[in-house]
Amino acid sequence: MTANSNRVTAGQIAEMLNGTLVGDPEVTVGWVNLIEDAEPDELAFVGSLKEISRISQSRAGIVIVPTEAGDQSDSWPGRTLIFVQHPEVGFLTIAEHIRPPRPRANVGVSPHAVVHPTATVGARTNVHPMAVIERDVVIGEFCDIGPGTVIGAGTVIGDETTIDANAVIYPDVEIGSHCELHAGCVIGGIGFGYRQENGHHVRLPHVGRVRIGDDVHIGSCTIVDRGKAGDTTIDSGTRIDGQVMIAHNCRIGKHNLLISQTGLAGSVTTGEYVVCAGQAGIADHVHLGDHAIIGAKTGVHRDMQGGRAYLGIPARDAAEHAREQMALKRLPDLRDTVKELQKQISGMQEQLDQLNSSDSSGTRDAA
């Protein structure tokens, strides 16, 4: 527990979540934890019926559980339980109440930051020590530019956007309002494009930009390259995890989810609400349709129709991939079956050969 945490009773939690309380309404907690690690002074949750047995082994003072487990409340006598429709959402709501976010500092432009005289920094924006704001940058109001961050010349940033420590924003990038760019991300660097000349790899110019819409989150150490000609774009509402690679001229649609270590080669385009799970790899110039789901470690080399889930290398319909995997699991048994059948066939062939030999001998004797 930390100094800025609040204590709360089971009765108060049930009221805040509009949940059903079973147990002592006066039980008090001052912290939150995972169900297996929680102490009597802590709140925990179980997210589904398949996890419900974990309550018995938990020491948590209060447990938030799914509504559909209400008929099992007698299974845990003496426990304080709160039944809600969405346990994880309720748990995180109370977690923020117990430990509210630290208030935003209002430090202004640090004297230890480097801000070019031609740059414009909006009202109530914080520029932390060692940040570098280059010429002709425009930053909106209520932004936070973390320590060690570099904002390249000509970049434009909307209102209430946070760029954490040591991020690098190359020149002429556009970033919308209400965005979050986490530590160490690199936006707008030159793409990986070369041609071979006289036995050497010669870099191709990349004269495009990166344009990021409103309410976009980009995780730590993610890379978004600038366009070769034209822009790399990330549309509003998209969430990008840490360590994702987005190459030159990709066009990412609204409300996508790109999970850690996903890699998009040049000129990939996506529709709306596309999901790429961890370590998915998308080949260049591929299009992913609206609501397509690309499973973890899937390799995509052609356009994928929207509204479907895909798995495997190469990517194919998830149900088809599952059938293939089930068939592969049966291969050892099938191999044994085939070997046994081969033995039986060999035996039958020997018997048939003997019969044919006997018939031939009988015919010669009769002659």
- Residues marked as catalytic: 248
Task: Give the Cα separation of 125 and 131 in Å (integer).
Answer: 13
Rounded Cα gap, residues 63 and 51, in angstroms: 12
Give how far the C-alpha of residue 130 lies from the chain's centroid of Cα atoms, to the nearest Å. 31
Task: Please give the DSSP secondary-structure letter assigned to residue 272.
Answer: S
User: What is the rounded (10 degree) CA torsion for 58, 60, 62, 67?
Assistant: -30
For residues 263 and 151, what is the distance between their CA atoms, to the nearest angstrom?
A: 25
Per this entry, what is the length of the chain? 367
Evaluate whether 291 touches 274 at the Cβ level (below 8 Å): yes
Between the alpha carbon of residue 60 and those of residues 2, 68, 78, 98, the distances in Å are 18, 20, 12, 15
Q: What is the DSSP letter of 51?
A: G
Determine phi and psi for 337, rounding to 5 degrees.
Answer: -65, -45
Strand partners, 162: 144, 180
State whether residue 180 is helix, strand or coil.
strand
Under 8 Å between Cβ of 56 and 72: no
- Answer yes or no: are the C-beta atoms of 65 and 45 closer than 8 Å: yes
Distances (CA, A) of 29 to 4, 25, 51, 327: 14, 11, 22, 51
| Residues ≥6 apart with Cβ < 8 Å to 285 | 265, 266, 267, 268
Contact 162, 199 (CB under 8 A): no
The token duo for 201 is 């790899």
Contact 303, 284 (CB under 8 A): no
Going 193 to 196 to 200 to 206, the CA torsion angle's sign is negative
